[in-house]
Amino acid sequence: MRFRHNSMGLLLSELGGKLLGEQHAPAGTKRISNLLRSKTWEHTLIETFLLEKAQQRAQQLQDQQQTCIILWDESVLEKPESLKAQGLCAVRSSKAKRLKRLKPGFFNPPGGRPVHVPGFEWMGLLLAGLKTHPMIAFFRWYTTRGEYAQDRFSLQSALLMQSITAFGRQLWHVFDRGYAGKRWLGELLTQRVGFVLRWPKRYQLVDEKGRRAAWQIARGRATQVRRRVWDAHQQQWRQGSALALAVTHADYPDQALWLVVSRLGKGREPWYLLTNQACDQADVVWSVVLAYARRWQIEACWRFSKSELALQSPRLWFWENRLKLMMMVALVYAFLLSLLVIDQHAYRLALLRSWCHRTGKRCQSALTPLYRLRAALAALLTTYQTITQTSG
């Protein structure tokens, strides 16, 4: 919580200094190492705790008659300089892709195939409502090589079954285009869960005119729903529209599906959302659009975890020890999310006003609640922390 450095934030030697003070940093490092190596607990202990909290939140949302959704996404942890740690596998580097992107005024960027570096795969599921902050439901790190190798589709199927066991089949599962395909669609239909899946515009579906690409099915169709939506990025209201079309998939002709097309204004690519929810009413159509819009919360989760919580910085040899440390970081992230509830509004304002006050219109209007909360808590702990333990 206190040490913010995305390349050294989770080094045991740095954490040891924060635990017992810099004079006794080696002793603090030893204590943390003993905790991670201990055989009396496993990382699944934290996983169970987070899942129980998510179940309680899901029950509250259902009691309030609110739509409850599960946000799915995947990321990677990059360790480009590591070669010997357990569990390393080849992952596509998002940082290299970002650096290779063409920028105005700077020409001849390196081209070629995607860059792969050593690292770990990361799959996450967040629980959220249409208007409430998210909560961690499942975090899974896995590798595709070595002793701890796992298959991606098998892990996805296992998480789907665990989410059904924990939350039932009333929730909506929201997916990005990376999950589009007949294999995963068939799994969702087999398990009879509600879903909202962003469908690539060139992937084909079947309507009354036969098998066509999604963009061809929606071309020329009149809008059915119009609503004003708040663009948080541009800080302005925009006119949004949507329509729903009955379709099927060629491999599952007996399953009724709906293609919801969301048009967000000139210059923006439409969203093609495939769902099994009956979209014969305007409110349901717009709920599907809002459910997918909430998916960006998990994108913010990846960014915050890698930058503020330094989740790519641990240098641990053993796979199990690494999982323990990363689940401890997930627990910190869950604590920060818990401060966003409405009941904590007064406490949150007082904390930000006293310990992370920002002047200037830009800083006060920027949407960075978790970043400022973490900075405020770090300043508070640094000021009032009293190290009462000795190094012995």
CATH of the domain at 241: 3.90.350.10
Based on the fold, state whether residues 79 and 53 are members of the same structural domain: yes
Greater pLDDT, 267 or 281: 281
Based on the fold, state whether residues 289 and 370 are members of the same structural domain: no
For 144-185, what is each residue's pLDDT tens digit? 999 999 999 999 999 999 999 999 998 999 999 999 999 999
- pLDDT category of residue 369 using cuts at 50, 70 and 90: confident
Span 351-371, mean pLDDT? 76
pLDDT-wise least confident of 9-18, 70-79, 330-339: 9-18
**Is position 226 within any domain?**
yes
pLDDT of residue 20: 83
Q: What is the mean pLDDT of the chain?
A: 89
pLDDT-wise least confident of 10-19, 177-186, 254-263, 274-283: 10-19
Based on the fold, state whether residues 236 and 372 are members of the same structural domain: no
pLDDT-wise least confident of 44-48, 65-69, 217-221, 235-239: 235-239
Judged against a pLDDT cut of 60, whether residue 134 lies above it is answered with yes
Rounded CA-CA distance 329/337 in Å is 13
pLDDT of residue 387: 54
pLDDT of residue 32: 92
**Is position 338 within any domain?**
yes
**Sign (positive or negative) of CA dihedral 151, 305, 134, 380:** positive
pLDDT of residue 340: 84
Rounded CA-CA distance 273/175 in Å is 9
What is the distance between the terminal CA atoms of the chain, rounded to a whole angstrom? 25
Whether 285 contacts 225, CB under 8 Å = yes
**Is position 251 within any domain?**
yes
Based on the fold, state whether residues 338 and 348 are members of the same structural domain: no
Tell me, letter by letter, the H, E, C secondary structure of the chain.
Answer: CCCCCCCCCCCHHHHHHHHHCHHHHHHHHHHHHHHHHCCCCCCHHHHHHHHHHHHHHHHHHHHCCCCEEEEEEEEEEECCCCCCCCCCEEEECHHHHHHCCCECCECCCCCCCCCEEEEEEEEEEEEEECCCCCEEEEEEEEECCCCCECCHHHHHHHHHHHHHHHHCCCCEEEECHHHCCHHHHHHHHHHCCEEEEECCCCCEEEECCEEEEHHHHHCCCCCCEEEEEEECCCCEEEEEEEEEEEEEECCEEEEEEEEEEEECCCCCCCEEEEECCCCCCHHHHHHHHHHHHCCHHHHHHHHHHHHCCCCCCCCCCCHHHHHHHHHHHHHHHHHHHHCCCHHHHHHHHHHHHHHCCCCCHHHHHCCCHHHHHHHHHHHHHHHHCCCCCCCC
pLDDT of residue 388: 55
Which candidate, 272, 297, 269, 252, places its Cα nearest to that of 132?
A: 297
- pLDDT category of residue 368 using cuts at 50, 70 and 90: low
pLDDT of residue 307: 86
Based on the fold, state whether residues 234 and 277 are members of the same structural domain: yes
**Is position 390 within any domain?**
no
Question: To which residue do tokens 């799959």 refer?
Answer: 123
**Sign (positive or negative) of CA dihedral 15, 19, 23, 27:** negative
Span 346-358, mean pLDDT? 84
Based on the fold, state whether residues 95 and 148 are members of the same structural domain: yes
Based on the fold, state whether residues 14 and 133 are members of the same structural domain: no
Quote the domain boundaries for residue 143: 43-99+115-342
Based on the fold, state whether residues 328 and 347 are members of the same structural domain: no
- pLDDT category of residue 7 using cuts at 50, 70 and 90: confident
Based on the fold, state whether residues 26 and 169 are members of the same structural domain: no
Based on the fold, state whether residues 130 and 219 are members of the same structural domain: yes
Judged against a pLDDT cut of 70, whether residue 57 lies above it is answered with yes
For 35-49, what is each residue's pLDDT tens digit? 999 999 999 999 999
Q: pTM of this prediction? A: 0.90
Based on the fold, state whether residues 337 and 349 are members of the same structural domain: no
**Sign (positive or negative) of CA dihedral 273, 293, 193, 286:** negative
For 72-120, what is each residue's pLDDT tens digit? 999 999 998 888 899 999 999 988 888 888 888 877 777 788 899 999 9
**Is position 108 within any domain?**
no
- pLDDT category of residue 367 using cuts at 50, 70 and 90: low
pLDDT of residue 364: 61
Residue 218 burial (CB < 10 Å; 0-12/13-18/19+)? Answer: buried
pLDDT of residue 242: 93
The number of distinct structural domains making up the chain is 3
